[in-house]
């Protein structure tokens, strides 16, 4: 919107059938978030689209980004019904706001139908109005679990428990540096009180050890854990459930930036993020990034970053943005403040190593290629694999449909190769979403 209002021609592509992303999925009157209401934002956006200030292309996936002349070529395809519908978009500037997806840790039984990500459960209920099961457990770590539970409860769902591996009360200690983020804490308080009203237990310092069931999820076993996530003996507890919504933080979608060699950094959550400066500019001139893809931080931060990214895009095109310098200055200060709060959340809800001991030899670590933990461990102990790439080539972990988006960081961790270098190296994916050969086939010699 900033770009369009500043006189740039702007094209917006989104993989979804409607704008709004995961946060505002199916939202009529969205809850949460502060500042400008989503309804007002949407009215303004829709107005620009109607006035042809923004060329909006929905149900469109970008599978590759290439540098070209003094700009970029973005290659796109249609949704899964229209995979052959490809196009190329040339642009001086590309703003990446590709978001994130739930980070998963493998555990025995995690491939049983009924075990799904927190984001997946939320998408079911928010996007389609469907509950994932009759008895739902929400588990993992992070404040997002509360948002998922809240969405499920609000839709009439029976949430058996929320199982949180960390101690949320530590937030008070970590957040001291970032107290002004009052809106965020109010959200959390609202979620917690909703749980209390429905008498949903919020089990802190508890972790899902395994899932059981024949052809689908029937129950899970949870344990109390210490601060390193090692189970406390004698605290095993079986919860009957037919749906488990689980997630341990998020993984940023950085594929397109990786394709053009943009610098990455390790965020305070231990995950990969695109490195940006205070104007959301990446290390590649003209490539700008905003939102979760630059580090997991939530919706308020994402919206602010989006505005600043718009300014950077306008400036890169050699124009003056419609925003005043003081507004931009305020925005960058707010971004820094919200980043501080995100860091406090990540310090409160870290990943701890205790989960690794639960991954028995038979547990699949790579779901796509069905690679067991035993095979991955053998690659290191017997075949002399010294790095993540060797493990991948020797075992095929991470070489299937999802290209390691789900398993690469955990395979690294299980092998003890979870270094920044390995995380960054393993994130290079030349094809961001599978595309039919027939759609890319060409006889042409030049672009």
Partner 1 sequence: MSADASKSSGSVSPTVDFTFDGTPYRVPEGQTVAAALISHGVVSWRHTRVGEQPRGILCGIGVCFDCLITLNGQPNVRACVTRIETGDVVCSQEGCGFGD
Partner 2 sequence: MNVDVVVIGAGVVGACCAYSCAEAGLTVAIVDRGAVASGTTGGGEGNILVSDKEPGPELDLALLSRGLWARMAGSLGDSFELDPKGGLVVAAQSATYEQLLRFAGEQRECGVIAEPVAAADLPELEPRISRDLAGGVLYPQDMQVQPMLAAAHIIEAARSTGRARLMTGSEVTGIDVDASGAISGVRTAHGLISTPIVINAAGTWGGQIAALAGVKLPILPRRGFILVTEPLPPLVRHKVYAADYVANVASDNAGLETSAVIEGTHSGTILIGASRERVGFDKTPDWTVLGRLARQAIDVFPFLAEVSLLRTYGGFRPYCPDHLPVIGPDPRVAGLMHACGHEGAGVGLAAGTGHVIAQSIIGVRTSMDLAPFSPARFEARHVS
Binding segment toward partner 1, per CB under 8 A, in 65-73, 213-221, 300-308, 416-424: 213-221
Stretch 398-427 residues interacting with partner 2 (CB under 8 A): 399-401, 403
Q: 193: which 2 tokens?
A: 């009180």
Which of 153, 244, 134 lies closest to 194 in space, CA to CA? 153
**Of the candidates 114, 249, 331, 426, which one interacts with partner 1 according to CB under 8 A?**
114
Which of 29, 49, 26 lies closest to 40 in space, CA to CA? 29
Which of 86, 70, 101, 146 lies closest to 316 in space, CA to CA? 70
Indicate the DSSP class of residue 262. Answer: -
Binding mask 362-401 for partner 1 (x = CB under 8 A): --x--xxxx-----------------------------xx
Cβ-based nearer residue to partner 2, 81 or 197:
81
- Whether the CB-CB separation of 322 and 129 falls below 8 Å is answered with no
Q: Does 367 bind partner 2 (CB under 8 A)?
A: no
Binding segment toward partner 2, per CB under 8 A, in 136-144, 192-200, 293-301, 429-437: 429-437
Q: Does 444 bind partner 2 (CB under 8 A)?
A: yes
CB of 353 to partner 1, least distance (A): 23
80 binds, among partner 2, partner 1, none (CB under 5 to 8 A by kind): partner 1
Stretch 308-347 residues interacting with partner 1 (CB under 8 A): none
Stretch 39-78 residues interacting with partner 2 (CB under 8 A): 64, 66, 75
For the beta carbon of residue 279, count every other beta carbon within 10 angstroms.
Answer: 18
Rounded Cα distance between 60 and 80, Å, is: 9
Binding-residue total with partner 2 (CB under 8 A): 37
Q: Does 232 bind partner 2 (CB under 8 A)?
A: no
What residue has token string 């109607």? 50
Contacts of 9 (CB under 8 A, 6+ apart): 55
- Whether the CB-CB separation of 379 and 395 falls below 8 Å is answered with yes
**Of the candidates 278, 390, 424, 425, which one interacts with partner 2 according to CB under 8 A?**
390
117 binds, among partner 1, partner 2, none (CB under 5 to 8 A by kind): partner 1
For the beta carbon of residue 63, count every other beta carbon within 10 angstroms.
Answer: 22
Contacts of 37 (CB under 8 A, 6+ apart): none
**Of the candidates 76, 93, 253, 280, which one interacts with partner 1 according to CB under 8 A?**
253
Rounded Cα distance between 258 and 245, Å, is: 30
Rounded Cα distance between 131 and 447, Å, is: 47
Rounded Cα distance between 434 and 78, Å, is: 11
- List phi, psi (to 5°) of 147: -65, -40
Cβ-based nearer residue to partner 1, 151 or 311:
151
Cβ-based nearer residue to partner 2, 71 or 183:
71
Binding-residue total with partner 1 (CB under 8 A): 54
Cβ-based nearer residue to partner 1, 18 or 260:
18
**Of the candidates 101, 107, 229, 341, which one interacts with partner 1 according to CB under 8 A?**
101
Query: Alpha-carbon torsion 227, 233, 237, 238, what sign?
Result: positive
CB of 313 to partner 2, least distance (A): 24
Q: Does 123 bind partner 1 (CB under 8 A)?
A: yes
Which of 348, 339, 346 lies closest to 178 in space, CA to CA? 339
- Whether the CB-CB separation of 395 and 376 falls below 8 Å is answered with yes
Q: Does 29 bind partner 2 (CB under 8 A)?
A: no
Please tell me whether residue 315 adopts helix, strand or coil conformation.
helix
Contact residues toward partner 1 (CB under 8 A) are 15-17, 22, 26, 79-81, 101-102, 104, 111-117, 119-134, 154-157, 215-217, 242, 253, 364, 367-370, 400-402, 405-406, 434
Contact residues toward partner 2 (CB under 8 A) are 64, 66, 75, 83, 261, 369, 382-387, 389-390, 393-394, 396, 399-401, 403, 429-431, 434-438, 440-447
């Amino acid at each position: 919107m900033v770009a369009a209002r500043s006189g740039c021609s702007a094209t917006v592509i989104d993989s979804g059938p409607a704008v709004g992303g995961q946060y505002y999925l199916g939202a009529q009157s969205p809850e949460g978030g502060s500042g400008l209401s989503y309804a007002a934002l949407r009215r303004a956006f829709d107005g620009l689209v109607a006035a042809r200030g923004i060329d909006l292309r929905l149900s469109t996936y970008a599978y590759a980004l290439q540098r070209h002349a003094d700009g970029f070529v973005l290659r796109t395809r249609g949704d899964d019904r229209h995979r052959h519908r490809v196009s190329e978009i040339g642009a001086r500037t590309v703003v990446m706001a590709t978001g994130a997806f739930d980070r998963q840790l493998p555990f025995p039984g995690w491939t049983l139908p009924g075990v799904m990500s927190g984001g997946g459960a939320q998408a079911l209920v928010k996007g389609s109005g469907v509950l994932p099961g009759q008895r739902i457990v929400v588990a993992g770590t992070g404040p997002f679990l509360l948002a998922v539970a809240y969405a499920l409860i609000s839709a009439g769902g029976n949430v058996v428990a929320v199982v949180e591996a960390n101690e949320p009360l530590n937030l008070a200690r970590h957040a001291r540096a970032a107290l002004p983020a009052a809106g965020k804490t109010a959200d959390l308080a609202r979620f917690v009180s909703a749980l209390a009203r429905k008498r949903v237990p919020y089990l802190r310092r508890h972790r899902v050890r395994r899932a059981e069931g024949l052809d689908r999820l029937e129950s899970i076993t949870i344990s109390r854990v210490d601060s390193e996530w090692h189970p406390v003996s004698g605290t095993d507890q079986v919860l009957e459930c037919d749906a488990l919504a689980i997630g341990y933080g998020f993984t940023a979608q950085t594929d397109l930036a990786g394709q053009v060699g943009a610098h990455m950094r390790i965020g305070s959550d231990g995950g990969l993020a695109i490195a940006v400066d205070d104007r959301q500019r990446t290390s590649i001139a003209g490539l700008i990034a905003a939102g979760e893809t630059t580090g997991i931080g939530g919706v308020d931060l994402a919206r602010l970053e989006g505005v600043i990214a718009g300014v950077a895009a306008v400036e890169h095109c050699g124009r003056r943005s419609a925003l005043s310098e003081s507004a931009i200055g305020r925005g960058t200060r707010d971004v820094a403040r919200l980043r501080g709060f995100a860091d406090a959340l990540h310090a409160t809800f870290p990943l701890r190593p205790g989960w690794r001991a639960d991954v028995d030899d038979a547990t699949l670590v790579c779901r796509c290629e069905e690679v067991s933990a035993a095979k991955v461990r053998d690659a290191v102990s017997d075949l002399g694999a010294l790095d993540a790439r060797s493990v991948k080539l020797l075992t095929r972990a991470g070489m299937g449909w999802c290209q390691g988006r789900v398993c690469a960081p955990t395979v690294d961790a299980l092998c003890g190769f979870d270094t920044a270098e390995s995380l960054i190296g393993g994130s290079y994916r030349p094809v961001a979403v599978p595309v039919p050969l027939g759609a890319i086939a060409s006889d042409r010699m030049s672009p």
